[in-house]
Amino acid sequence: MARVACIGECMLELSGADNKAMTLSYGGDTLNTAVYLSRLGVETDYVTALGDDPYSDWMVEQWRGEGVGTDLVVRAAGRVPGLYAIRNQPGGERQFFYWRDQAPARDLFGFRESTALAARLARYELVYLSGISLSLYSPAHRETLFAVLDAARTAGSRVVFDTNYRPRGWPDAATARDVMTALLARVDIAAPTLGDDIAVFGDADATSCADRLHAAGVAEVVVKLDAEGCLVSMGGVRELVPTVPRADPVDTSAAGDSFNAGYLAARLAGAAPATAARHGHRLAGEVIMHRGAIIPRDAMPGSNL
């Protein structure tokens, strides 16, 4: 089987403190994970919809340059991708401003070309998506997505989910909770950040978060705890895996996305969950010391722990 398919949206990104000299890049949570998976040697394809404009062409070229497969990218005639601007605050936290309501990624499961996704995704070992992915789609398109995931799991694929809750993308937390609960019945590996699951599900702590996810049928859980590390839980065994704090992080963009990539790459290579979590911490710890979601290739940490 092919290794990983990541489903979601990538947008054009504007960043910089000076509005007259902002930098154009691109970003999206599942695309970030796809890039880092590819850099870690995992065969990875991206599943989204873009326009037929020069900026969409440029993004596809960039992804291919990172080794991310683009055969499952739908190109919609007359459409353009979403756009966001990012500003960094003291301590590395960031603010986002979006222009994305008409982005073609929102209609991914409504295009004629998407009818073949069920058969094509069944070839992948892992199918990865996030709460941001879910927030893009209409109720009807979510049902199509769920049918696609059901078919992939029947064929032997495993579904990986990161809550990655962004309130702006949902009518309210209750809607997000209902949609995510429906998805969790189809999830094999969950990698939420605790703060997101507190906001959506009201979990009291990492233990209760893991308990709820296991009760929903999720076999493997890794609850990210920001600077405190993560809790891994699988097969009745739980372990708190600490991280090494980094002083004065520059930009926390893609910290969770890169952790997920490091964790999944290690798990696909046969590492135990706790060892995989240390790989995830190491990559995320380097990512937050650079501006932007995707760090330079020469800044990627080695594989030894």
Catalytic residues: 257
- Identity of residue 212: R
Specify the length of the chain in residues: 305
Burial class (CB in 10 A: 0-12, 13-18, 19+), 115: exposed
Contact criterion met (CB below 8 Å) for 84 and 100? yes
Rounded CA-CA distance 113/71 in Å is: 11
Contact criterion met (CB below 8 Å) for 43 and 50? no
Burial class (CB in 10 A: 0-12, 13-18, 19+), 160: buried
Number of Cβ within 10 Å of residue 171's Cβ equals 9
Residue 230: strand pairing partners: 224, 241
The candidate with the shortest Cα–Cα distance to 201, out of 189, 187, 216, 221, is 216
Distance of CA 27 to the CA centre of its chain: 11
